[in-house]
Amino acid sequence: MNKLYQSKWHGINFKDFSACSNKKIADKSFYDKFYKQFFKKYRSFDDLDVDWVEYKETIAKEIIKEIQLKKSKSILSIGCGIGIVEKYIVENTKDVNITAIEPSEGVSKWIGNTSKIQIKDGYFPDVLDDNLNFDMSFSNSIDYTFNNKEYEIFLRSVVDYGIKEFILISVSKYKKEQTLKILIKNLIKSILSPIGLYNKHQFWGYCRTSNEQVKILKKSGFNVVSVVYESDNTLIIKALV
């Protein structure tokens, strides 16, 4: 596991709305402020960068493969963000309904009127009733926000809730051979940052190798774990209880 730092997202500079910290990870307050800027800049999915939209649709297509393989109907999405993946899934499948959880209130408003998507603002599993059953669950690009201890707690909560099939989408993958290079770069940045020669930007989260992801999933209670899609920076893993 290595640390990630970032200065902007979706073309929005973090310094324009927040004092960046290279020690404190971006929290809910940070994201709430970010999305205020986001919705000032963008009015609909059509306004977003075409390449980014196509990338998200690629992820959605991979999830659809797993949905169709198991003929799943009731899906839980943990951390849906603006809902672009969820929207694509329900528009390109039949009889699939998604319950989508997002901690930041109002972020998923663009899919608010989508009949096959039910949005719940809050945190998993607290925002859900205890008696809900889902054929499958997925989380999209939230793993980077957790350190290893927090990540294991989250994954165990997925198992404890009764989810039998879980799809993990990580967009913060790195390769083992990059470890030394990343450590050296971060060390140099740590030395230069206090003397004003480098702005380390916002502490954004953590990146993990595919082996680290598989190991922590198994440690958290999943019995069968397999990589179903992999690119330079993206990893999709299927985990079964």
Rounded Cα gap, residues 97 and 118, in angstroms = 8
Domain that holds residue 203: 2-240
Integer Cα distance of 21 and 30 in angstroms? 11
Cα dist from 135 to 1, 23, 49, 96, 107, whole Å: 31, 39, 32, 10, 25
Distance of alpha carbon 30 from alpha carbon 19, whole angstroms: 9
Check residue 234 and give its pLDDT: 92
CATH number of the domain encompassing residue 112: 3.40.50.150
Residue closest to 133 by CA, chosen among 102, 103, 97, 92: 97
Q: Indicate the number of domains in the chain.
A: 1
Give residue 198's pLDDT: 54
Query: What mean pLDDT is predicted for residues 199-208?
Result: 85
How many angstroms separate the CA atoms of 237 and 227, rounded? 4
Q: Are 133 and 162 in contact (CB under 8 A)?
A: yes
What percent of the chain has a predicted confidence (pLDDT) above 90?
A: 76
> Strand ranges (DSSP E) for the chain?
2-6, 8-9, 12-13, 74-78, 97-102, 117-121, 136-140, 165-170, 202-207, 224-230, 235-240
- Counting Cβ atoms within 10 Å, is residue 46 exposed (0-12), middle (13-18) or buried (19+)? exposed
Q: What is the pLDDT of residue 172?
A: 81
User: What percent of the chain lies above the pLDDT cut of 70?
Assistant: 89
**The pLDDT of residue 72:** 92
Between CA 160 and CA 125 the distance in angstroms is: 10
Alpha helices in 162-202 (DSSP H): 179-192
Write out pLDDT tens, residues 23-64: 899 998 999 999 999 999 999 999 999 999 999 999 999 999
Alpha-carbon 26 to chain mean position: 14
pTM assigned to the model: 0.88
Q: Tell me, what's the pLDDT at 232?
A: 82
Q: Is residue 192 over pLDDT 60?
A: no
Q: At 184, is the pLDDT very low, low, confident or very high (cuts 50, 70, 90)?
A: low
Q: How far is CA 206 from CA 22, 86, 158, 210, in A?
A: 13, 24, 20, 13
